Chain A
Amino acid sequence: MIQNLVDGVLVGSVLSLGAVGLTMVMHMLRFANFSHAELLSIGAYSALVFDALFSAMMPPLTAAIGPLSMTWALALSVVFSLVITGLSALLIDRLVFKRVREKGSELSMVFASFGVAMIIRNVVGLIFGLGTHLYSKDIVFAVVLSRDPLLLVKPDQVFTLVAALLIMLIMHFVLSRTTLGYSLRAVAENPTLAQVNGIRLSHMIALVWLVGGGLAAVAGIFYGLSNQISPMIGRDLVLPIFAATIVGGIGSIYGAVLGGFIVGISASLALAILPSGYSPSMPFLIILAVLLIRPNGLFGEEQT
């Protein structure tokens, strides 16, 4: 039970990172982006490529960092992957979403995002194969935290959690202390008013894609670190990430962070009761529960 809780916290940190980007896009551009989870996949795979590249070019970098399975090469790859994924998100917006936005309704955007997700997922599958990959084939042994009850934690998992919390802390600082953060929140709340206050909308939209893509990349890599990398990352995570945004309330960044942990933890805890085959159903049950009890989420505002 406690093991489930620990696992849930770790899954939660990945979901939170994904949900923060998604909730920002959903709020600012007002559409449910079904292709957001594919950005996690882009992030995970581009880190894989950079990791191989750096390891080949600079063999000393293949040394693992402390007790982690993560190598210096992979750590460096995270930075590059973050940029590549952010730029990919921006590029997808320019190529597809921006044009659909100028032409059609918000629902056409939802639809377009389905198409985009399908294309990305299968292009990734074509390039990297349908099988799974790992960043490191070395087995890192879990640290036994306690024997009764048995509690195992891998150093990678602790690192993931700490890094995720650190990123959220930085996000919090930017949003609550800087005028750039105020501008982002302002555009999310009321784009027209933000514009007449001198904020250039197109720049803010680009920024949101960059930030959302960057966070998704980190989430994707962390997911790959504790699980496997496969073209199905997007398919498997799209619903849990949506659930996290709905739990938190669409548009609330803090809600998305909390929502990610709530979905991660409750899905893991539920597995203590339900057979593990049912885990893909958990996010939907959580969504249903939220819609029944508190439709606008924990921090969401009423919107139509």
Chain B
Amino acid sequence: MEPKHDSKWAKFHPMWDGFYTFLFTPGETTSRGSHIRDGIDLKRTMFMVVLALIPCLLFGIYNTGHWHYVATGEAGEYMDMFGDKLIYGLIQVLPIVIVSYAVGLGVEFIFCIKNQHAIQEGFLVSGMLIPLIIPADTPLWMVAFATVFAVVLGKEVFGGTGMNIVNIALTARAFLFFGYPTMMSGDKVWMSGISDLSRETLEANGVTGATQLGELASFTGPKADWIYPGGLEAFQAKWSIMDSFWGFIPGSIGETSVVAILIGAALLLYTGIASWRIMLSFVLGGFVVGILSNMGAINPYMELEPLNHLVIGGFAFGAVFMITDPVTASQTNTGKYIYGFLGGALSITVRVFNGAYPEGVMMAILFMNVMAPLIDHYVVSANIKRRTKRLKTKTA
């Protein structure tokens, strides 16, 4: 089966090699001394992250169906029509996952064959992340288009897997966000299949169609525009922190359930794939800005408890799966604390102070991705300075 160097299929060798090593353990072993420090390679790493994302995906499938039937008024309670919800969710979500993988891997294969590189498995994770951070109603051709954009301009131009400067999945999301704003924000996309329903129908079924963030963002405007005239109490009467924690809230497919995300986080931390320093400082950064905005509150949004901030929107998902991406994050330990903290702080800052962007996590993480090398640079040069100083005092 293996295409030999002289056969006419030789240029497809990277593709064959990629599939072969993915499916089988290669039979050869090194005959001399080897230098393996750890048995985990890129395939296993990536697969572990995909595994960590499965709870989010499963919950996202249920949640997509759940909000569809809530919005149409057919099933209000969580367990009503459970099977129908799952089926509806599967029909909405699975095609997005398939398109994201097919298109992304296709682009990856083309570049690998063209450059005769071995195929690397970086896209296994990106391909799963992209569906999880977009609304379930996103048309498939947009998913495909965004994936091509992200893989080519986010990754391949920099040299492929492990060379990218910004997070690929977030690049895809940013492309959709700026390219098709009507499909990525507002009150028509967060509950699947409601674009034909009138505002009155939605209100009769007890939903606005917007995410919590969209509703909260109305608090930054004049009082007449508030979705909840009763202020923050009215908002909290509708959405309890526990609801948001379990994930029964409208939002992108995989970002809603903090519980599912925490299961993934536990796996990532146990295997050491994600950095606990970044995760911790990201959450801390968001928390601190939450407290600060509480202290100087001038509108109901600023009064929202810091804890509540952490469980709504994409904050938890960003903290566990996005900001911890080892390629785009800071590499030094001190840098990781700074990087995570600023990322979290910026996320909540954008959220609370910029009504035009209800969710700041994407922007904040992309921004910090770009800043990460700078942080590392200063951490390293500070270390050099400290050590030369120590050397001088010793010799003096």
A interacts with B: no
State the B residues within 8 Å of A (CB): none
State the A residues within 8 Å of B (CB): none
